[in-house]
Amino acid sequence: GENVEQHPSTLSVQEGDSAVIKCTYSDSASNYFPWYKQELGKRPQLIIDIRSNVGEKKDQRIAVTLNKTAKHFSLHITETQPEDSAVYFCAASKNTGFQKLVFGTGTRLLVSP
| Binding interface with another protein (CB under 8 A) | 6, 9, 32, 34, 36, 42-46, 49, 89, 93, 95, 97-106
Q: Which residues pair with 74 in a beta bridge?
A: 22, 65
Q: What angle do CA 76, 79, 44 make, to 5 degrees?
A: 55
Identify which of residues 30 and 74 has a Cβ nearer to another protein in the complex. Answer: 30
- Angstrom CA distances, 4 to 58, 59, 75, 97, 109, stand at 22, 23, 14, 20, 19
Identify which of residues 67 and 105 has a Cβ nearer to another protein in the complex. Answer: 105
CB of 88 to another protein, least distance (A): 11
CB of 101 to another protein, least distance (A): 6
CB of 15 to another protein, least distance (A): 26
Of the candidates 111, 105, 52, 61, the one whose C-alpha atom is nearest the C-alpha of residue 82 is: 111
Identify which of residues 97 and 113 has a Cβ nearer to another protein in the complex. Answer: 97
